[in-house]
Amino acid sequence: MSATLWTRIQKFLGITADGIPGNQTAQAVAARLGIDAATPAATPSSATIDPRSAANIATLKPEAQMKAREWLLKCLEAGINVKIITGTRTYQEQAALYAKGRTAPGPKVTNAPPGYSWHNFGVGWDFVVFDANDQPLWESPLMERCGRIAESLGLEWGGSWKSFQDIPHIQLKQDCTLAEARQMVSSGKWWS
Ligand SMILES: [Zn+2]
């Protein structure tokens, strides 16, 4: 359904007409239909996770998978066309990336050798917002909105980092350091 139609429905219901059907719209529709709004009706949302995001989510640790799904659905329900474009990178994959611009051709793409990125530990993912033609919008203000949604769910957003801002990055808050995580990986305790 188009945003224009939702806007008209919302205007008709006398609520904020932002064209994005969320909880408020559901409640207003329920009230109009005489359904007890205290029993929250299912949010009328057609939000589904795209295959690329789903594949990347599948590479994360179970608790990160849950949060990534929750975050992504929240963004989609807000009408943002966002996808998870990176999940976990194995040490081997990180090594290949780190080699670029050093021992392999091309420009440098990362400063993190294997074990020095939270992507190597199944707790972080990268996202980008897409336009209607599936072109990535790295500079879109919606990137920040997705980051703020992550923070509202208790996640860490790279856009709030002080020393090195990483706007497309989200991760579970960790109570250990990367060095401790590496130690746990080598003693077989991290992924279990
Ligand atoms: Zn990242």
Judgement on whether residues 90 and 138 belong to the same structural domain of the protein: yes
CA 111, 113, 118: angle at the middle one, nearest 5? 85
Judgement on whether residues 12 and 41 belong to the same structural domain of the protein: yes
In a domain, 29, yes or no: yes
Ordered mean pLDDT values, 10 residues apiece, the chain (192 residues): 80 84 78 62 67 98 97 96 97 97 96 96 98 95 98 98 95 97 96 86
In a domain, 30, yes or no: yes
Residue 166 CA to ligand 1 center (angstroms) comes to 7
Residue 11 CA to ligand 1 center (angstroms) comes to 40
Q: What is the CATH number of the domain that holds 63?
A: 3.30.1380.10
In a domain, 86, yes or no: yes
Residue 188 CA to ligand 1 center (angstroms) comes to 24
In the prediction, which pLDDT does 41 show? 41
Per the prediction, the chain carries an average pLDDT of 91
Residue 39 CA to ligand 1 center (angstroms) comes to 39
Entry pTM: 0.75
In the prediction, which pLDDT does 35 show? 65
Residue 22 CA to ligand 1 center (angstroms) comes to 29
Judgement on whether residues 93 and 27 belong to the same structural domain of the protein: no
